[in-house]
Chain A
């Protein structure tokens, strides 16, 4: 596509606004310019993505981490929206910042169709779908229907879809697309797909697989774990990550599968992504008022469930919950989180909605301490689980130790 004058101007404006906005104290300079640019030239994203090899990453949980793992594994600094600005404006800003021929872009679940159309991705990574902010997002089944429309359409016919075979909503969406690589990232979260996404009848599960009487069933995966080894097609890789948790091993498996599809040597890539220690502040150890804390982001039941399982039983835990616009105004989802696994432990409750959290924990039989402010307690690192804006607040209040 030839860049018209209008597009060139749009790119210049994106650069100018993104340069100016952090200096003017407005935002981090990743979205503002993109929005202005799209206003000048609506096809800006399409033009910027042209002639680049694009990997798109979408799903309810793990988008930002998986995007970071793909960027690290790919090498040579691909263009990426690594701060989680995952709507078209953030994607535009990422592509304006970098002239790399490679781009890995995180896409909001609801914007996936538009992202695919504009960027013509070589690979679309479909991580998972679960409940998240239902007061503003559509219901999770409707989201799966929309993904399905994207995956079987002409828009995606040249894309390879790297999809999670263990998630029935993802399988419902991707089953029927021409090129799918099925992955089996470890997961324990099944609460959002107990009834079949296709026919609503109960899903059946055994230790090995899930299926429905209507015929929808777990496809055979070509990427999976065998003990500690990741197996991707016919390649076997002993995988040791700096990031904690089995869910991050799953993210790495999916990231490597995506990289294999764009011709990257996955064994070499695995060494590069193994060194990622923190992603946009997550998993980092920082100090809040002198107290060392490890900041962990969890925004919904599936995310909390995965994190809670990965926390050692001897660690102190603080949890911070807000319910501002970016979090969703309704914290009812706290009752879908299996907090019962913390029974017998003591948890300090923080954030705007600390009483909602403390009440949930009290009913789960967990000892609570409704903290009014952060006070240093111990030399040991405390694990702090926080949802979106609570996490941002903590990150802003913290310093390197």
Chain B
């Protein structure tokens, strides 16, 4: 049984981020993989899981979520081998420190050597990243600039938008994956959803699953790479 936990949706769900849990669970289910999707509220005890999903949040809720996760033994779950897929503020929270408002600096979860500072401008718009030769399309809306320490690979190279710093987007460190593309990025990129799913259950690949999501991915790639909207 694959257990997926969507972490604190009431704090980390600004941009429909709950969509990622739905997409993963549904893609597993339709292939006959037994799956349980838990929405872990901030009042609940944090369930142990194979895969944790961190969404984006507004400033106050982001800080509270870090505090709650630190106290809930999240770091222990990750060092025991749980996988993490984080978007937007979720990426910032995984690092050692982040600044959200003004110059105040807050301590992150420290699971990834990453420091987020406030960028001079907010990045709002389409984000396209090349991940090992495949395009990842999404949308970003954040004010951070993130730099990573050694031993951390970026998730991919920015083709359009800003991501971490205008050059790279997100990170991949062991079973911790993150991107600045917020909200339901896995809905827009079915191939990435399947890559996350395959990693979570320890398979090399999954059998194909045809759906309208493939047409969405194709239409967004065409639109964003200016190949003309269909």
Residues of B within 8 Å of A134, CB to CB, are 14-15, 141
Q: Knowing A330-B139, A332-B182, A335-B19 are in contact, say whether A359-B58 is a contact too (CB < 8 A).
A: no
Let me know if A330 and B141 touch, CB within 8 A: yes
Q: Knowing A329-B125, A330-B15, A334-B16 are in contact, say whether A195-B212 is a contact too (CB < 8 A).
A: no
Q: Is the interface of A mostly helix, strand, loop or mixed?
A: mixed
Let me know if B41 and A202 touch, CB within 8 A: yes
A330, B58: Cα distance in complex, Å: 17
Let me know if B184 and A139 touch, CB within 8 A: no
A56, B20: Cα distance in complex, Å: 40
Size of interface on A: residues with Cβ below 8 Å to B: 31
Say if the beta carbon of B43 comes within 8 Å of chain A. Answer: yes
Let me know if A363 and B22 touch, CB within 8 A: yes
A335-372 vs B, CB cutoff 8 Å, 1 = contact: the mask equals 11000000000000000100110111011100010100
Let me know if A335 and B22 touch, CB within 8 A: yes
Say if the beta carbon of B61 comes within 8 Å of chain A. Answer: yes
Q: Chain B nearest CB: distance from A169 CB in Å? A: 12
Residues of B within 8 Å of A360, CB to CB, are 19, 184, 187
- Tell which of B10, B11, B16, B61 touches A333, judged by Cβ atoms closer than 8 Å: B16
Let me know if A332 and B61 touch, CB within 8 A: no
Q: Chain A nearest CB: distance from B14 CB in Å? A: 7
Say if the beta carbon of B211 comes within 8 Å of chain A. Answer: yes
> CB within 8 Å of A: which of B76-133?
124-126
Q: Chain B nearest CB: distance from A370 CB in Å? A: 7
Write the chain A residue with the least CB distance to B67.
A200
- Tell which of B10, B124, B215 touches A355, judged by Cβ atoms closer than 8 Å: B215
Let me know if B212 and A368 touch, CB within 8 A: yes
> CB within 8 Å of B: which of A116-145?
131, 134-136, 139-141
Residues of B within 8 Å of A330, CB to CB, are 15, 139, 141, 183
A140, B26: Cα distance in complex, Å: 30
Say if the beta carbon of A194 comes within 8 Å of chain B. Answer: yes
B170-197 vs A, CB cutoff 8 Å, 1 = contact: the mask equals 0000000000001110011000000000
Write the chain A residue with the least CB distance to B218.
A355
Q: Knowing A335-B187, A370-B212 are in contact, say whether A195-B61 is a contact too (CB < 8 A).
A: yes
Let me know if B18 and A335 touch, CB within 8 A: yes
- The listed residue with most B CB atoms (<10 A of its CB), out of A135, A335, A336, is A335
A363, B26: Cα distance in complex, Å: 6
Q: Chain B nearest CB: distance from A328 CB in Å? A: 10
A135-157 vs B, CB cutoff 8 Å, 1 = contact: the mask equals 11001110000000000000000
Let me know if A332 and B10 touch, CB within 8 A: no
- Tell which of A141, A191, A201, A359 touches B187, judged by Cβ atoms closer than 8 Å: A359
Q: Chain A nearest CB: distance from B6 CB in Å? A: 11
Say if the beta carbon of B228 comes within 8 Å of chain A. Answer: no
Let me know if A195 and B139 touch, CB within 8 A: no
Let me know if A135 and B141 touch, CB within 8 A: yes
Say if the beta carbon of B60 comes within 8 Å of chain A. Answer: yes
Let me know if B14 and A355 touch, CB within 8 A: no
A131, B15: Cα distance in complex, Å: 9
Say if the beta carbon of B219 comes within 8 Å of chain A. Answer: yes
Let me know if B64 and A336 touch, CB within 8 A: no
Write the chain B residue with the least CB distance to A352.
B229
> CB within 8 Å of B: which of A352-401?
352, 355-356, 358-360, 362-364, 368, 370
Say if the beta carbon of B201 comes within 8 Å of chain A. Answer: no
Residues of B within 8 Å of A329, CB to CB, are 125-126, 139
- The listed residue with most B CB atoms (<10 A of its CB), out of A134, A332, A335, A362, is A332
A364, B197: Cα distance in complex, Å: 19
- Tell which of A335, A358, A368 touches B183, judged by Cβ atoms closer than 8 Å: A335
Let me know if B16 and A195 touch, CB within 8 A: no
Let me know if A332 and B15 touch, CB within 8 A: yes
17 other A-B residue contacts (CB within 8 Å) besides A194-B11, A332-B17, A362-B212:
A139-B59, A194-B10, A195-B61, A329-B125, A329-B139, A330-B139, A330-B141, A332-B182, A332-B183, A334-B19, A335-B184, A336-B13, A352-B229, A355-B220, A358-B212, A359-B213, A364-B22
Cross-chain pairs A/B with CB under 8 angstroms, 21 sampled: A131-B14, A135-B124, A135-B139, A194-B11, A200-B60, A200-B61, A202-B42, A332-B17, A332-B182, A332-B184, A335-B22, A335-B183, A335-B187, A336-B13, A336-B18, A352-B229, A358-B212, A359-B211, A362-B212, A363-B213, A370-B212
Instruction: Give 7 nearest A-B pairs by CB, closest first.
Output: A335-B16, A332-B183, A335-B19, A194-B10, A355-B216, A332-B16, A332-B15
